[in-house]
Chains A and B, each alone.
Chain A
């Protein structure tokens, strides 16, 4: 610090230098708000209006929708029509809907099981915002029985395949250098598939959210932030490997399974998926490789038995939470956010597993494109893609 050219200013002065621009900014805002110097731009156009339906609940009292306003001014919901018929409704809280806030609109409409309905919200300017209920089914309720059955589905989809995959651990322990490379590359391959899958899913969900959430930017920035934070945490004490790396993989996969649970729960609540046995088995098969991926970095150590249980819970348990959340408290922006966090986590473990794979081999260049590594990577991608065909409906 010998080349410090400026003497340190007194604290009062530095504080003042901070407050002057802040005060000018505040003053400018007050001036613009009070004098409205932009009023000559007012061309008589009506305010921009936007309404986004975030949740739909169908039950014995009719149709309930959670609506978020995103216009340039507060909005009035003047009338509600269901299937081109004006219907009585109540709004809670009542009155104008301020930008960014959400209200519940409750319509005592006798909806028809298994059929489609179209809800139109008309603002005071007569602008119609339509929301389609593709297949009307009763929305699941948070009863003990409902939670239990969803937990069962979540366990089959999340916990069971991870546990099954981890059971390959003893068989995998004997493999040599090439086998190890193959397994690690396989892990990276399946993670790459999950990353693409989650990112696309998150972007698709975010497109359905209100504009003020800036869905696409939110997804990319969240994923990036999550990736950087996990990288920093992971490398706090050197590069993760062994058990630590296994836990990071389990965390990333857990977040992915949370997203998968959200999707199943949400689809179930929306009536768009009759959750057949075939579909559930498809998910289970699709996720078996996740257990193998988690086991791969632990092959050189001897982990205590409890870690397998912990890894299974961490990687598979979130599927249950996702099921509950998706069917009971769904909102596109929060689901997209959860998936973006997962995408960042997946990217982190991809980087770390790849780094671990490279460190295992003295000739890094040769190892990277060896048949085992390339085969493992492409094999992982192919397996995930093929089994995903079972679950995409």
Chain B
């Protein structure tokens, strides 16, 4: 018997790399057909038309498609997707617009789109109201309200399976500045494409997870599907511009998820339905499933460097939900 270390707290391997906590290899984003980095800034704005009453009609086309995706290097998941990507397209509209979503089901199971928003019973995406079988088509139609950071997901049953297979996405309704004169400038900064919005760096983030062996617990946690994606490719942040994150939690099986920002604090707008923060100066927020909100922060006063963000459930972090902001000046 070899002499054991007498100190029970002595690491038997001094100097071993504790920094080896990472997946091995890289995900083939081209084969997946989507890239977590470009997904951050990819907004689906559809096609617009003018209605007789002068309002805007915004039309989205979304299809349910079965597709195998690589969610961590070398690990493949038989996903059900909206428009061939997980999360589905980040739909973006403006408060007061008329929305029309043409939904086609090319998948192997019945699916629907259930929007978190205000609409009639017949447009709800539950069985009997827009839940369609394979090969069928349905058009959801409603007004874009209330403004905020919302989501949509498939509401076919069993719900758990349909959601965690990948059928969810962001649904953002920008506030109409004309309707909010008291906070018109804030509202304008949230309208995609407005001059006030141009200086903001907006990021679409969906906290999701995958139960690859279908035992009711997740093997991979991520933001925008690919575990550790933003560790391998840190998110470039221009520190001269403020950052706004549209964040939604669609993690199945675990009751809550969270986001913790390192070395900085942020303002938080729960559900994004207000123009003043619901939480000020925090560095961590929790979201239960389908909860969402908007984070606003700035790195203007920080020195250049890598700033981490991750779920503050360490387990999620170590199973893939961790990333880096690569903070530099505009020219660096």
Contact = CB atoms under 8 A, between A and B. Distances in A.
A86 B71 CA distance: 13
Interface stretch (B11-19, B118-126, B131-139): B11-19
Nearest to A84: B315
A265 B253 CA distance: 42
Contacts of A110: 11, 13, 16, 18
A81 B75 CA distance: 13
Interface in B35-79: 71-77
B215 to A, nearest CB: 8
B17 A108 contact: yes
A108 B20 contact: yes
B2 to A, nearest CB: 6
Interface in B1-36: 1-2, 4-5, 8, 10-13, 16-18, 20-25
A126 B213 contact: yes
Interface in A190-211: none
B23 A127 contact: no
Given A79-B23, A85-B21, A89-B24, A113 B319 contact: no
A126 B219 contact: yes
A89 B22 CA distance: 9
Given A85-B21, A88-B20, A125-B76, A62 B318 contact: no
A86 B22 contact: yes
A60 B24 CA distance: 21
A113 B10 contact: yes
A88 B76 contact: no
Contacts of B130: none
A86 B2 contact: no
Given A122-B212, A126-B210, A78 B20 contact: no
Given A128-B219, A149-B1, A275-B1, A88 B16 contact: no
A78 B25 CA distance: 9
Interface residues of B, number: 36
A81 B24 CA distance: 11
A110 B318 CA distance: 15
* Secondary structure call for the B interface: loop
A86 B319 contact: yes
Interface string A41-78: 00000000000000000111110000000000000101
Given A60-B13, A126-B213, A78 B315 contact: no
B110 to A, nearest CB: 19
Given A122-B219, A126-B75, A84 B318 contact: yes
Interface residues of A, number: 40
B105 interface: no
A118 interface: no
A124 B74 contact: yes
A62 B13 contact: yes
Contact of A137 (B4, B22, B212, B319): B4
A113 B21 contact: no
Given A126-B212, A128-B212, A86 B12 contact: no
Nearest to A275: B1
A204 to B, nearest CB: 25
A111 B227 CA distance: 24
Nearest to A109: B20
Contacts of B22: 86-88
Contacts of A60: 12-13, 16
A283 to B, nearest CB: 16
A124 B27 CA distance: 12
A146 interface: yes
B312 to A, nearest CB: 15
B272 interface: no
Contacts of B18: 110
Contacts of B251: none
A114 interface: yes
A125 B16 CA distance: 31
Contact of B74 (A78, A84, A149): A78
A282 interface: no
Contact of B72 (A79, A84, A140): A79
A141 B20 CA distance: 25
B167 to A, nearest CB: 18
Interface in B194-229: 210, 212-213, 219-220, 227-228
30 contacts: A60-B12, A62-B13, A62-B16, A78-B72, A78-B73, A79-B74, A79-B75, A84-B315, A84-B319, A85-B21, A86-B24, A86-B227, A86-B318, A86-B319, A87-B22, A88-B20, A108-B16, A110-B16, A113-B5, A122-B72, A122-B75, A124-B74, A124-B75, A126-B71, A126-B75, A126-B210, A126-B213, A126-B219, A127-B212, A128-B219
Given A86-B228, A111-B12, A112-B11, 4 more contacts: A58-B12, A79-B23, A88-B24, A128-B219
